[in-house]
Amino acid sequence: MPDISSTTETAYAEGNILKHTADGVGVITFNNPDKRNAMSLEMWEGFGEALTSLRDDEKVRVVILRGAGGKAFVSGADISQFEKVRHNAAASEEYARRSAAQRALLADYPKPTIACIQGFCLGGGMQVAMLTDIRIASHGSAFGIPAAKLGIAYGYDGLRHLVSLVGPSWARLLMYTGMRIDSAEALRIGLVERVIPDDQLWGETMAIAETISQNAPLAIKAAKITIAQVLKDESKRDMEAIKAIGHACMDSADFREGRQAFMEKRAPQFSGR
């Protein structure tokens, strides 16, 4: 299993965002534990830089997002910045524009993404987690969007993803009350896919990432593209994109390798071509 502690670390946003890679797995760590990994604008922009670096690294096949310190994935936006950068509608629009670019990068990410959630996953943390493909949470994690307690109008994209995961009724309950729910409730309503004991969370998340990294990248890309189109309104679906990636898979060296490995009863070695 990859050991990220032995790999080179790259820091962004003055060390508040960290990046590691190992054996086809990229890891981005939100590293502001004193503030329970609350996201400043600089952290959003550093997050985008780390995402871009891993996206363009051909050796990386899957990306994990996690929080440092064991207390939080991301506890939300850094409220201490609000007087400066979100004090009125015009300032909030500029803040949203600058942070939205990073969320769009994650929303359209070409590689599989996993949120490894331990502790608080609130507000902007929920937004990040909901944009990933898979959410794995610890037993001790807690979820919520406290926008109604802060007087914040939550944006269309954030609510679209929330509704797609938990449905409109649970979205209303969460948004109207600002309530927090525990990991068991999050699992029950479909907000997370798996709940793991705290001391096993990282190992289980890495095992899933390692499995994904060893599978055929083009086949995974095909699944990611097709599922994204399924979620769109029928009139907006790009069926040609689905057809193109399907043809790419069937003509790939990986498809030949998969067949040959099956016949030879060995593990396949996929190249992504």
Question: How do residues 157-216 score in pLDDT, each as one tens digit?
Answer: 889 999 999 999 999 999 999 999 999 999 999 999 999 999 999 999 999 999 999 999
Q: Is residue 270 situated within a structural domain?
A: no
Candidates 69, 50, 57; CA nearest to 22 is: 57
Same domain, 201 and 260: no
* Residue 40 and residue 8 share a domain: yes
Rounded Cα–Cα distance for residues 214 and 261 (Å): 13
Question: pTM score, two decimals?
Answer: 0.92
Mean pLDDT over each residue of the chain, to the nearest integer: 92
- What confidence category does residue 2 fall into, taking pLDDT thresholds of 50, 70 and 90? very low
pLDDT tens digits for range 241-269: 999 999 999 999 999 999 999 999 999 99
Distances (CA, A) of 210 to 93, 141, 197: 39, 23, 19
CB atoms inside a 10 Å sphere around CB 2: 18
Q: 146 is in which domain, residue-wise?
A: 4-213
Label residue 1 by pLDDT band (50, 70, 90). very low
- The answer to whether residue 273 sits within a structural domain is no
Question: Is 272 contained in some domain?
Answer: no
Residue with tokens 């071509």: 273
Phi–psi pair at 5, nearest 5 degrees: -65, -20
